[in-house]
């Protein structure tokens, strides 16, 4: 399989461990990534200011993917995945918006293709690659490792949009973790938000949400937290100390991308997976795996 890939802003600037780990693990399953000709924004940051422009930018991302000649587009960022998926639905349902956007794209030589399928890391691995193929590829089973999972809000809601997993009971990330030999620890705060959406408008509230969830996870019999979204990783990993200060707790929770965990189970070197870039105490989790 060849798929175009839209990295968005966050992965290419502060969360490139996600990109590194994706580029390492996907070829193991015969998936080749084809980069777009340029980097661009999905439109999310201006959605509350100018909804049409946000939809245009999202459609432009799909048009750049169309230039590759491929009909699959991997969007690893939850926020970008939601924004592009919603824009695609809006363009499909609203003739006036569709005609205006298609016309603007033509002015710069781009053609909108409604047939492009949008993938996220989770459904690409779960639905396309499949759990059995992942199990067979594992060379270093993560037996004895217990982790909590965080799916993130924007790839499971709202349901009418058609999302990656069930909004009330998402299971795909957990099943992917179990395919590596690890165990998933359930907890009541599992679907709580990381707080990233409030970072610009209410930073203290954002840190409070992240800190409260991390505090709950720290009290679990778990060796760390697994995520699949750059915004969530930013809140739980890079901002963990600030989140702890906000909720009055000393937090010490290892946080990793699922693709990093997958890479470890496939026997890929830690540095190639960007684990040296994680800012949470991932050594604790790595030591548990190496035992």
Domain co-membership, 111 together with 190: no
Q: Residue 291 above 90 pLDDT?
A: no
Domain co-membership, 44 together with 177: no
Q: pLDDT tens digit string along 151-188?
A: 999 999 999 999 999 999 999 999 999 999 999 999 99
Answer yes or no: is 125 within a domain. no
Q: Residue 125 above 80 pLDDT?
A: yes
Last residue within a domain, chosen from 60, 91, 119: 119
Answer yes or no: is 126 within a domain. no
Domain co-membership, 82 together with 216: no
The predicted structure's pLDDT at residue 127: 98
Answer yes or no: is 238 within a domain. yes
Q: pLDDT tens digit string along 29-52?
A: 999 999 999 999 999 999 999 999
Last residue within a domain, chosen from 66, 87, 119: 119
Gap between the Cα atoms of 106 and 177, Å rounded: 43
Percentage of the chain lying above the pLDDT 90 cut: 99
Tell me the residue range of the domain where 161 lies: 131-290
Give me the residue label for tokens 């030591």: 287
CATH code (residue 69): 1.20.1050.140
Three-state DSSP string of the chain:
CEEEECCCCHHHHCCHHHHHHHHHHHHHHCCEEEECCCCCCCCHHHCCCCHHHHHHHHHHHHHHHHCCCCCEEECCCHHHHHHHHHHHHHHHHCHHHHHHHHHHHHHCCCCCCCCCEEECHHHHHHHHHCHHHHHHHCCCCCCCCEEEECCCCCCCCCHHHCCCCCCCCCCHHHHHHHCCCCEECCCCCCCCCCCHHHCCCCHHHHHHHHHHHHHHHHCCCCCCEEECCHHHHHHHHHCHHHHHHHHCCCCCCCEEEHHHHHHHHCCCCCHHHCHHHCCCCHHHHHHHHHC
Gap between the Cα atoms of 157 and 153, Å rounded: 6
Domain co-membership, 146 together with 274: yes
Q: How confident is the model at residue 200 (pLDDT cuts 50, 70, 90)?
A: confident
Domain co-membership, 228 together with 258: yes
Domain co-membership, 85 together with 216: no
Domain co-membership, 11 together with 65: yes
Q: pLDDT tens digit string along 215-249?
A: 999 999 999 999 999 999 999 999 999 999 999 99
Overall average pLDDT of the 136-157 stretch: 97
Answer yes or no: is 87 within a domain. yes
Answer yes or no: is 178 within a domain. yes
Count how many domains the chain has.
Answer: 2
Domain co-membership, 114 together with 136: no
Contact 24, 3 (CB under 8 A): no
Gap between the Cα atoms of 88 and 62, Å rounded: 9
Domain co-membership, 140 together with 247: yes
Angle at 139 between CA 134 and CA 142, to 5 degrees: 80
Answer yes or no: is 48 within a domain. yes
CATH code (residue 233): 3.40.50.11810
Domain co-membership, 66 together with 32: yes
Last residue within a domain, chosen from 119, 146, 171: 119
Domain co-membership, 143 together with 111: no
Answer yes or no: is 197 within a domain. yes
Q: Residue 116 above 90 pLDDT?
A: yes
Percentage of the chain lying above the pLDDT 70 cut: 100
Neighbours of 170 (CB within 10 A): 21
Mean pLDDT of the chain: 97
Domain co-membership, 270 together with 192: yes
Q: Whole-model pTM?
A: 0.97
Give me the residue label for tokens 């999302």: 163
């Amino acid at each position: 399989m060849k798929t175009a890939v839209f990295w968005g802003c966050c992965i290419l600037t502060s969360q490139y461990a996600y990109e590194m780990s994706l580029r390492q693990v996907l070829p193991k399953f015969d998936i080749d990534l084809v980069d777009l000709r340029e980097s661009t924004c999905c439109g999310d940051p201006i959605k509350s200011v100018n909804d049409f422009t946000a939809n245009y930018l999202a459609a432009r991302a799909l048009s750049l993917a169309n230039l590759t000649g491929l009909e699959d587009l991997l969007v690893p960022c939850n926020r970008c995945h939601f924004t592009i998926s919603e824009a695609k639905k809006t363009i499909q349902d609203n003739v006036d918006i569709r005609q205006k956007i298609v016309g603007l794209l033509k002015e710069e030589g781009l053609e909108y293709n409604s047939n492009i399928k949008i993938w996220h890391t989770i459904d690409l691995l779960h639905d396309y690659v499949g759990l059995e193929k992942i199990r067979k590829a594992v060379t270093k089973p993560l037996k004895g490792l217990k982790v909590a999972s965080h799916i993130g809000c924007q790839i499971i809601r709202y349901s009418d949009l058609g999302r990656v997993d069930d909004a009330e009971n998402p299971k795909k990330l957990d099943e992917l973790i179990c395919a590596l030999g690890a165990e998933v620890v359930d907890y009541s705060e599992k679907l709580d938000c990381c707080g990233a959406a409030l970072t610009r408008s209410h930073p203290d509230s954002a840190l409070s949400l992240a800190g409260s969830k991390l505090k709950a996870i720290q009290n679990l019999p778990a060796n760390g937290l697994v995520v699949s979204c750059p915004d969530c990783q930013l809140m739980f990993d890079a901002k963990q100390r600030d989140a702890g200060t906000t909720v009055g707790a000393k937090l010490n929770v290892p946080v990793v991308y699922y693709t990093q965990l997958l890479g470890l189970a496939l026997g890929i070197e830690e540095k190639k997976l960007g684990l040296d870039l994680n800012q949470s105490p991932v050594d604790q989790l790595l030591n548990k795996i190496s035992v």
